[in-house]
Chain A
Amino acid sequence: GNSVTQMEGPVTLSEEAFLTINCTYTATGYPSLFWYVQYPGEGLQLLLKATKADDKGSNKGFEATYRKETTSFHLEKGSVQVSDSAVYFCALAMEYGNKLVFGAGTILRVKS
Protein backbone atom coordinates (compact mmCIF):
# COMPACT_ATOMS: atom_id res chain seq x y z
CA GLY A 1 0.00 0.00 0.00
CA ASN A 2 0.91 3.67 -0.09
CA SER A 3 3.08 4.93 2.77
CA VAL A 4 5.27 7.80 3.94
CA THR A 5 8.42 7.55 6.05
CA GLN A 6 9.89 10.54 7.86
CA MET A 7 13.07 10.94 9.81
CA GLU A 8 12.59 10.49 13.51
CA GLY A 9 12.81 13.43 15.84
CA PRO A 10 13.05 15.44 17.77
CA VAL A 11 15.30 17.64 15.70
CA THR A 12 16.90 20.35 17.84
CA LEU A 13 18.58 23.31 16.15
CA SER A 14 19.88 26.71 17.09
CA GLU A 15 18.26 29.78 15.58
CA GLU A 16 19.50 30.53 12.04
CA ALA A 17 20.68 26.95 11.46
CA PHE A 18 19.91 25.06 8.26
CA LEU A 19 17.04 22.59 8.43
CA THR A 20 16.48 19.34 6.57
CA ILE A 21 13.70 16.90 7.41
CA ASN A 22 13.81 13.79 5.25
CA CYS A 23 10.70 12.25 3.75
CA THR A 24 10.42 9.27 1.42
CA TYR A 25 7.31 7.65 0.05
CA THR A 26 6.03 4.43 -1.47
CA ALA A 27 3.13 4.67 -3.88
CA THR A 28 1.62 2.88 -6.83
CA GLY A 29 1.19 5.65 -9.36
CA TYR A 30 1.94 9.35 -9.19
CA PRO A 31 0.98 10.98 -5.92
CA SER A 32 0.83 14.61 -4.93
CA LEU A 33 3.11 15.37 -1.98
CA PHE A 34 2.55 17.70 0.94
CA TRP A 35 4.16 19.10 4.04
CA TYR A 36 1.79 20.02 6.89
CA VAL A 37 2.81 21.80 10.09
CA GLN A 38 1.16 21.53 13.50
CA TYR A 39 1.93 24.25 16.02
CA PRO A 40 1.27 23.50 19.70
CA GLY A 41 -2.44 23.42 20.44
CA GLU A 42 -3.43 24.04 16.83
CA GLY A 43 -4.67 22.02 13.88
CA LEU A 44 -2.67 20.94 10.88
CA GLN A 45 -1.82 23.68 8.39
CA LEU A 46 -0.76 23.08 4.82
CA LEU A 47 2.80 24.37 4.46
CA LEU A 48 3.58 23.49 0.85
CA LYS A 49 2.82 20.96 -1.84
CA ALA A 50 4.01 19.60 -5.17
CA THR A 51 1.86 17.73 -7.66
CA LYS A 52 4.35 16.27 -10.14
CA ALA A 53 7.97 15.20 -10.46
CA ASP A 54 10.59 17.97 -10.24
CA ASP A 55 8.05 20.47 -8.92
CA LYS A 56 9.29 22.59 -6.04
CA GLY A 57 6.86 23.70 -3.38
CA SER A 58 7.77 26.71 -1.26
CA ASN A 59 6.25 28.83 1.48
CA LYS A 60 7.51 30.96 4.41
CA GLY A 61 11.14 30.17 3.52
CA PHE A 62 10.53 26.42 3.46
CA GLU A 63 10.92 24.43 0.28
CA ALA A 64 10.77 20.85 -0.92
CA THR A 65 11.37 19.27 -4.33
CA TYR A 66 9.43 16.27 -5.62
CA ARG A 67 12.11 13.72 -6.60
CA LYS A 68 10.58 10.80 -8.43
CA GLU A 69 13.88 8.96 -8.94
CA THR A 70 14.54 8.81 -5.20
CA THR A 71 10.85 8.88 -4.16
CA SER A 72 11.65 11.72 -1.80
CA PHE A 73 10.25 15.10 -0.75
CA HIS A 74 12.71 16.48 1.79
CA LEU A 75 11.81 19.70 3.61
CA GLU A 76 14.49 22.41 3.86
CA LYS A 77 14.86 25.89 5.27
CA GLY A 78 17.99 27.96 5.14
CA SER A 79 17.64 29.74 8.50
CA VAL A 80 15.19 28.53 11.13
CA GLN A 81 13.56 30.70 13.77
CA VAL A 82 12.25 29.88 17.22
CA SER A 83 8.74 30.37 15.82
CA ASP A 84 9.31 27.41 13.46
CA SER A 85 9.18 25.03 16.42
CA ALA A 86 6.35 22.63 15.62
CA VAL A 87 5.61 19.13 14.36
CA TYR A 88 6.05 18.64 10.63
CA PHE A 89 4.16 15.97 8.70
CA CYS A 90 4.91 14.71 5.22
CA ALA A 91 1.91 13.32 3.35
CA LEU A 92 0.79 12.02 -0.02
CA ALA A 93 -2.47 11.81 -1.91
CA MET A 94 -3.10 9.78 -5.01
CA GLU A 95 -4.34 11.55 -8.12
CA TYR A 96 -7.86 10.20 -7.94
CA GLY A 97 -7.89 9.50 -4.24
CA ASN A 98 -9.80 11.13 -1.45
CA LYS A 99 -7.46 10.59 1.45
CA LEU A 100 -4.11 11.82 2.67
CA VAL A 101 -1.55 9.31 3.91
CA PHE A 102 0.68 10.84 6.58
CA GLY A 103 4.07 10.07 7.98
CA ALA A 104 4.52 9.84 11.75
CA GLY A 105 5.65 13.46 12.06
CA THR A 106 8.95 15.07 13.06
CA ILE A 107 9.22 17.37 16.07
CA LEU A 108 11.36 20.44 15.43
CA ARG A 109 12.70 22.47 18.36
CA VAL A 110 14.58 25.68 17.68
CA LYS A 111 16.59 27.26 20.49
CA SER A 112 17.43 30.94 20.70
Chain B
Amino acid sequence: GAGVSQSPRYKVAKRGQDVALRCDPISGHVSLFWYQQALGQGPEFLTYFQNEAQLDKSGLPSDRFFAERPEGSVSTLKIQRTQQEDSAVYLCASSQLLRANYGYTFGSGTRLTVV
Protein backbone atom coordinates (compact mmCIF):
# COMPACT_ATOMS: atom_id res chain seq x y z
CA GLY B 1 0.00 0.00 0.00
CA ALA B 2 0.84 3.65 -0.10
CA GLY B 3 1.61 3.92 3.57
CA VAL B 4 1.78 2.03 6.84
CA SER B 5 -1.72 1.02 7.88
CA GLN B 6 -2.72 0.24 11.45
CA SER B 7 -5.96 -1.16 12.81
CA PRO B 8 -8.03 -0.62 14.75
CA ARG B 9 -7.60 3.13 14.98
CA TYR B 10 -9.10 3.16 18.48
CA LYS B 11 -9.53 0.35 20.99
CA VAL B 12 -11.16 0.42 24.37
CA ALA B 13 -10.42 -2.62 26.52
CA LYS B 14 -11.56 -3.60 29.96
CA ARG B 15 -8.77 -4.26 32.43
CA GLY B 16 -7.70 -7.87 32.12
CA GLN B 17 -8.83 -8.23 28.52
CA ASP B 18 -6.45 -9.37 25.77
CA VAL B 19 -5.99 -7.12 22.72
CA ALA B 20 -4.37 -7.51 19.30
CA LEU B 21 -3.16 -4.58 17.25
CA ARG B 22 -2.42 -4.98 13.54
CA CYS B 23 0.18 -3.31 11.34
CA ASP B 24 0.36 -3.51 7.54
CA PRO B 25 3.74 -2.11 6.49
CA ILE B 26 4.60 -0.65 3.14
CA SER B 27 4.94 -3.47 0.65
CA GLY B 28 8.49 -4.75 0.38
CA HIS B 29 9.74 -3.04 3.51
CA VAL B 30 12.19 -5.29 5.31
CA SER B 31 12.24 -3.60 8.70
CA LEU B 32 9.25 -3.16 11.00
CA PHE B 33 9.16 -1.40 14.35
CA TRP B 34 6.65 -0.98 17.17
CA TYR B 35 6.68 2.05 19.47
CA GLN B 36 4.56 3.03 22.47
CA GLN B 37 3.63 6.69 22.93
CA ALA B 38 2.17 7.65 26.27
CA LEU B 39 0.13 10.84 26.52
CA GLY B 40 2.36 13.91 26.28
CA GLN B 41 5.51 11.87 25.71
CA GLY B 42 7.70 10.90 22.81
CA PRO B 43 7.44 7.42 21.31
CA GLU B 44 9.45 4.69 23.02
CA PHE B 45 10.84 1.67 21.23
CA LEU B 46 9.20 -1.69 21.85
CA THR B 47 10.49 -4.16 19.27
CA TYR B 48 12.06 -4.59 15.83
CA PHE B 49 11.67 -7.14 13.05
CA GLN B 50 13.85 -7.78 10.06
CA ASN B 51 11.57 -9.76 7.74
CA GLU B 52 10.04 -12.41 10.01
CA ALA B 53 12.86 -12.41 12.55
CA GLN B 54 12.35 -10.47 15.77
CA LEU B 55 15.86 -9.15 16.30
CA ASP B 56 15.26 -6.83 19.22
CA LYS B 57 12.50 -6.98 21.81
CA SER B 58 14.34 -5.13 24.53
CA GLY B 59 11.67 -2.43 24.82
CA LEU B 60 8.72 -4.70 25.56
CA PRO B 61 7.68 -3.64 29.08
CA SER B 62 6.59 -7.05 30.36
CA ASP B 63 5.92 -10.62 29.32
CA ARG B 64 2.31 -9.62 28.72
CA PHE B 65 3.47 -7.97 25.49
CA PHE B 66 4.10 -10.18 22.47
CA ALA B 67 4.73 -9.31 18.82
CA GLU B 68 4.92 -11.44 15.71
CA ARG B 69 5.46 -11.10 11.99
CA PRO B 70 5.16 -14.69 10.76
CA GLU B 71 5.44 -14.10 7.00
CA GLY B 72 7.65 -11.05 7.06
CA SER B 73 4.83 -8.67 6.17
CA VAL B 74 1.85 -7.98 8.48
CA SER B 75 2.68 -7.74 12.17
CA THR B 76 0.53 -8.10 15.26
CA LEU B 77 1.24 -6.70 18.70
CA LYS B 78 -0.63 -8.60 21.38
CA ILE B 79 -1.13 -7.43 24.93
CA GLN B 80 -2.43 -9.95 27.42
CA ARG B 81 -4.35 -9.08 30.59
CA THR B 82 -4.30 -5.37 29.84
CA GLN B 83 -3.63 -2.92 32.65
CA GLN B 84 -4.41 0.78 32.89
CA GLU B 85 -0.76 1.67 32.41
CA ASP B 86 -0.93 0.06 28.97
CA SER B 87 -3.13 2.95 27.79
CA ALA B 88 -1.15 4.67 25.04
CA VAL B 89 -0.87 5.12 21.29
CA TYR B 90 0.91 2.19 19.67
CA LEU B 91 2.81 3.19 16.56
CA CYS B 92 4.09 0.93 13.83
CA ALA B 93 6.78 1.96 11.37
CA SER B 94 8.51 0.30 8.45
CA SER B 95 11.59 0.86 6.34
CA GLN B 96 13.10 -0.69 3.25
CA LEU B 97 16.49 -0.30 4.90
CA LEU B 98 18.05 -2.12 7.81
CA ARG B 99 19.30 0.81 9.84
CA ALA B 100 17.24 3.31 11.82
CA ASN B 101 19.59 6.12 10.92
CA TYR B 102 17.91 6.51 7.56
CA GLY B 103 14.55 7.23 9.20
CA TYR B 104 11.36 5.34 8.58
CA THR B 105 7.63 5.71 7.78
CA PHE B 106 5.14 5.67 10.62
CA GLY B 107 1.51 4.65 10.64
CA SER B 108 -1.20 6.74 12.31
CA GLY B 109 -1.23 4.51 15.35
CA THR B 110 -3.76 2.65 17.47
CA ARG B 111 -4.98 4.49 20.54
CA LEU B 112 -5.56 1.94 23.30
CA THR B 113 -7.58 2.94 26.34
CA VAL B 114 -7.83 0.46 29.19
CA VAL B 115 -10.76 1.11 31.51
Contact = CB atoms under 8 A, between A and B. Distances in A.
A105 B4 contact: no
Contacts of B102: 32
A43 B89 CA distance: 10
Contact of B100 (A36, A44, A89, A99): A99
Interface string A81-112: 00000000101011111111111110000000
Contact of B91 (A43, A51, A96): A43
- Sort chain B's interface into a size bin: 20 to 34
Interface in B26-65: 31, 33, 35, 40-45, 48, 55-56, 59
Contacts of A105: 40-42
Q: Which of B48, B56, B102, B107 has the most CB of A within 10 A?
A: B102
Contacts of B55: 98
Contact of A103 (B31, B40, B42): B42
A102 to B, nearest CB: 3
- Sort chain A's interface into a size bin: 20 to 34
Given A99-B48, A99-B56, A104-B41, A44 B101 contact: no
Interface string A13-48: 000000000000000000110101000011111100
A4 B43 CA distance: 12
Contact of B106 (A4, A32, A45): A45
Interface string A40-62: 01111110010100000000000
Contacts of B105: 46
Contacts of A99: 33, 45, 48, 56, 59, 100
A44 to B, nearest CB: 4
26 contacts: A32-B101, A34-B103, A42-B108, A43-B4, A43-B91, A43-B106, A43-B109, A44-B43, A44-B91, A46-B103, A89-B42, A91-B42, A93-B103, A94-B101, A95-B101, A96-B99, A98-B48, A99-B45, A99-B56, A100-B35, A100-B43, A101-B45, A104-B40, A105-B40, A105-B41, A105-B42
